A = this chain, B = another copy of it.
Amino acid sequence: MTAPLKHRTLSAAIVDRLRQAILAGTYPAGTQLRQDAMAETYGVSRIPVREALFQLEAEGFVRIVPHKGAIVSELSLDEINDVFDLRCLLEPRLLSQSAPRFAEADFAALDAIQARFEAAIAAGDVGQWGVINAEFHMALYTKARQPRTQSIVAALLQTSDRYTRLQLSNTAAMGIAEQEHAELIRQCRAGRFAEAAAFLVGHIEAVRADLLRVVARSGAAGGDTNSRSVALE
């Protein structure tokens, strides 16, 4: 199996750990991440920390202001909608090009991920859920010849994960997602690609609707004036 825990460089390891920490809410939006503190926390020098922060900035997790530092990005309603709109636009396009090229090995890979997904749900492992979900979606698109779109969607999936974590441990939603993934595999196996693409949009929209429901209930979801941040404190 691929060993995602093995990193070839310290910076990459810090990227993962910091990202997980942000996803888990250890560093809430607005938190300033001081290089010294991070270096101390993870027992490394400040150089890997710096590089990790830059990487996370490229991924959209933090905002870096020169000479001022890195601040964990705010979550905004505008961005939620933007991200999910983009996913609805791009993912079906990837699937349509990728799915017809699937061989049996690709389906086997999907099944394997699906199995791990079920296991993670059963174990209630919220941290793994988003990771495996992203893995599944990307596996659907491996055969597409759209390298740029693929990397964009990979980033979008990570951002989605961050938002989705707001509704922590929504096991019901996780179960639904798992069933929908299974349905996607079935439709692709049956060669019903257009149907699968449409179903995929529904799947993404369902997640978005779920998320918006939680955000709306949890309080003022970003004023309409500037619609900045989701109040979370």
Footprint of B on A, CB under 8 Å?
Answer: 8-9, 12, 47, 50-51, 54-55, 58, 60, 66-67, 76, 78-79, 82-83, 85-86, 89-90, 93, 145-149, 151-152, 156, 159, 227, 231
Contacts and interface: CB of A to CB of B under 8 A. Distances in A.
B146 A78 contact: yes
A147 B78 contact: yes
Nearest to A60: B148
B83 A148 contact: yes
Contacts of A76: 147
Number of copies: 2
A85 B83 CA distance: 18
A213 to B, nearest CB: 21
B82 A148 contact: yes
B145 A227 contact: yes
B66 A147 contact: no
Contact of A149 (B82, B148, B151): B82
21 contacts: A8-B67, A9-B66, A9-B67, A47-B47, A50-B51, A51-B51, A54-B54, A54-B55, A54-B58, A60-B151, A78-B145, A79-B147, A79-B148, A82-B146, A82-B148, A83-B148, A86-B90, A89-B93, A148-B156, A148-B159, A152-B152
Given A47-B47, A50-B51, A51-B51, A8 B66 contact: yes
B54 A145 contact: no
A60 B145 CA distance: 16
Nearest to A52: B54
A26 to B, nearest CB: 23
Contacts of A67: 8-9
A130 B200 CA distance: 37
Contacts of A78: 145-147
B145 A66 contact: no
The 10 closest A-B CB pairs, nearest first, are A58-B58, A8-B66, A82-B146, A82-B148, A78-B145, A9-B66, A79-B147, A54-B54, A83-B148, A82-B149
A147 B47 CA distance: 29
